C-alpha cells in the first residue's frame, strides 16, 4: 500500500473529526499506522474495520467495529481515548490502556439492534438510531448516511 493512501485517509479523517468536534491523536505517525491497518482491513474484509481488533465471521457481524466504531464515544467519555488511541480528548493519557468494551460474542452485540424497541407504541414512523453517534431519525427507512457523523445506512438500528 502506498504511503499516500494512508496519508490521504488520515487527512480525510482529520478534517471529518475537526468538523464534528472530535480530535485525532496528535502523534501523526501513530495515526497513520492505524489508518494503514484500516485500509488493509478494507482490502481484506471489505470493511474499514478497527485496526486493533480481529474481524471474524460474516461482514455484517463486524459493522460495530467499522471505524469510527460503536464504542468510540463511550471510550472517549470514560478514558479520554478510543480503544486504539486514534481518537482522543484533552483527558488523553498515553500511559493509560483502554480496555475493549466490545462484547466478545456476536450474540452479545445484537443488543443494540433491539434496544428500545416497543417502548412507545402508536408512532407513525419507526425510529432509527445511528450506532456511532446516537442520532435518531423517525422515517420509514434509515437515512442513507448519518447527517451528523457520516456513518453509512448499515450502521443504523431500529430503536423504536
Ligand atoms: S477503537 Fe474504534 S474509533 Fe478507535 S480506531 Fe478502532 S474502530 Fe476506530
pLDDT tens-place string over residues 87-119: 999 999 989 999 999 998 887 776 555 555 555
Q: How far is the CA of 4 from the centre of ligand 1 (A)?
A: 21
Q: What CATH number corresponds to the domain at position 30?
A: 3.90.460.10
Q: Is the same domain home to 61 and 121?
A: no
| All three cell numbers of 82 | 478510543
Give the pLDDT band (50/70/90) at residue 73: very high
Confidence (pLDDT) at 48 = 95
The minimum-distance atom of ligand 1 relative to the CA of 34 is 5
Q: Of 65, 84, 104, which one is at a domain's C-terminal end? A: 104
Closest residue by Cα to atom 6, ligand 1, is: 50
The minimum-distance atom of ligand 1 relative to the CA of 71 is 2
Q: Is the same domain home to 29 and 86?
A: yes
d(CA 47, CA 130): 17
Query: Mean pLDDT across the stretch 48-72?
Result: 94
Q: Is the same domain home to 66 and 130?
A: no
Q: How far is the CA of 45 from the centre of ligand 1 (A)?
A: 16
Q: What CATH number corresponds to the domain at position 129?
A: 2.20.28.10
Q: Is the same domain home to 57 and 134?
A: no
Q: Of 104, 129, 149, which one is at a domain's C-terminal end? A: 104
Q: Is the same domain home to 96 and 120?
A: no
Which letter does DSSP use for residue 134 in this model? -
Q: Which residue has the higher pLDDT, 120 or 86?
A: 86
Q: Is the same domain home to 52 and 25?
A: yes
Mean pLDDT of the chain: 89
Confidence (pLDDT) at 66 = 95
Q: How far is the CA of 59 from the centre of ligand 1 (A)?
A: 17
Share of the chain above pLDDT 70, in %: 91
Give me the domain span that covers residue 13: 3-104
The answer to whether 133 and 73 are in contact (CB under 8 A) is yes
Q: Is the same domain home to 72 and 145?
A: no
Q: How far is the CA of 150 from the centre of ligand 1 (A)?
A: 15
Q: How far is the CA of 128 from the centre of ligand 1 (A)?
A: 22
Which residues line ligand 1 at a C-beta cut-off of 6 Å? 34, 50, 52, 65, 67-69, 72, 82-84, 86-87
Q: Is the same domain home to 88 and 120?
A: no
Q: Is the same domain home to 115 and 98?
A: no
Which letter does DSSP use for residue 99 in this model? P
d(CA 103, CA 53): 12
**pLDDT exceeds 60 at position 85:** yes
Q: Is the same domain home to 100 and 132?
A: no
| 29 backbone φψ class: left, alpha, beta (φ>0; ψ -120 to 50) | alpha
Quote the number of domains for the chain: 2
pTM over the 0.85 mark: no
Share of the chain above pLDDT 90, in %: 64
Q: Of 104, 121, 145, which one is at a domain's C-terminal end? A: 104
Confidence (pLDDT) at 5 = 84
Confidence (pLDDT) at 27 = 95
Q: Is the same domain home to 93 and 129?
A: no
Query: Comparing 28-32, 36-40, 120-124, which segment has the lowest mean pLDDT?
Result: 120-124
Q: Is the same domain home to 82 and 143?
A: no
Confidence (pLDDT) at 115 = 52
Confidence (pLDDT) at 1 = 59
Amino acid at each position: 500500500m502506498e504511503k499516500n493512501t494512508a496519508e490521504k485517509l488520515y487527512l480525510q479523517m482529520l478534517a471529518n473529526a475537526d468538523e464534528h468536534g472530535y480530535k485525532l491523536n496528535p502523534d501523526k505517525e501513530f495515526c497513520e499506522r492505524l489508518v494503514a491497518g484500516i485500509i488493509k482491513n478494507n482490502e481484506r474484509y471489505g470493511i474499514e474495520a478497527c485496526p486493533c481488533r480481529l474481524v471474524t465471521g460474516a461482514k455484517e457481524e463486524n459493522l460495530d467495529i467499522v471505524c469510527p466504531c460503536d464504542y468510540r464515544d463511550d471510550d472517549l467519555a470514560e478514558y479520554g481515548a478510543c480503544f486504539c488511541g486514534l481518537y482522543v480528548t484533552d483527558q488523553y493519557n498515553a500511559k493509560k490502556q483502554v480496555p475493549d468494551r466490545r462484547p466478545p460474542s456476536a450474540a452479545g452485540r445484537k443488543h443494540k439492534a433491539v434496544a428500545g424497541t416497543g417502548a412507545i407504541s402508536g408512532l407513525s414512523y419507526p425510529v432509527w438510531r445511528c450506532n456511532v453517534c446516537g442520532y435518531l431519525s423517525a422515517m420509514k427507512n434509515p437515512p442513507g448516511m448519518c447527517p451528523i457523523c457520516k456513518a453509512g445506512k448499515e450502521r443504523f438500528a431500529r430503536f423504536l
